[in-house]
Amino acid sequence: MRIALFEPDIPQNTGTILRLAACLGLEAHLIEPAGFPVSDRAFRRAGMDYLDQVALTRHPSWPDFERWRVAEGLRLVLLTTKATASYLDHRYEPHDILLFGRESAGVPDPVPRRRTRATAHPDALGPAFRSMSR
**DSSP assignments along 102-126, one per residue:** BTTTBS-TTTTTTT-SEEEB-GGG-
* 36-65: average pLDDT: 81
Whole-number Å distance between alpha carbons of 84 and 95: 22
Beta strand ranges found along the chain (DSSP E): 2-6, 27-31, 56-59, 75-79, 96-100, 118-120
* 71-80: average pLDDT: 89
Q: What is the pLDDT of residue 80?
A: 76
What is the chain's mean pLDDT, rounded?
A: 80
pLDDT at 130 over 90: no
- Bond preceding residue 110 cis, omega within 30 of 0: no
Q: What is the pLDDT of residue 134?
A: 46
pLDDT at 126 over 60: no
Nearest to 101 by CA among 111, 91, 114, 92: 111
Greater pLDDT, 80 or 127: 80
* Local structure of residue 80 (DSSP, 8 states): -
Q: What is the pLDDT of residue 53?
A: 87
Greater pLDDT, 83 or 3: 3
DSSP helix/strand/coil, 86: strand
Q: What is the pLDDT of residue 16?
A: 87
DSSP helix/strand/coil, 71: helix
Query: Could you read off the pLDDT of 11-36 as tens digits, one per residue?
Result: 888 888 988 999 999 999 999 998 88
Whole-number Å distance between alpha carbons of 43 and 22: 15
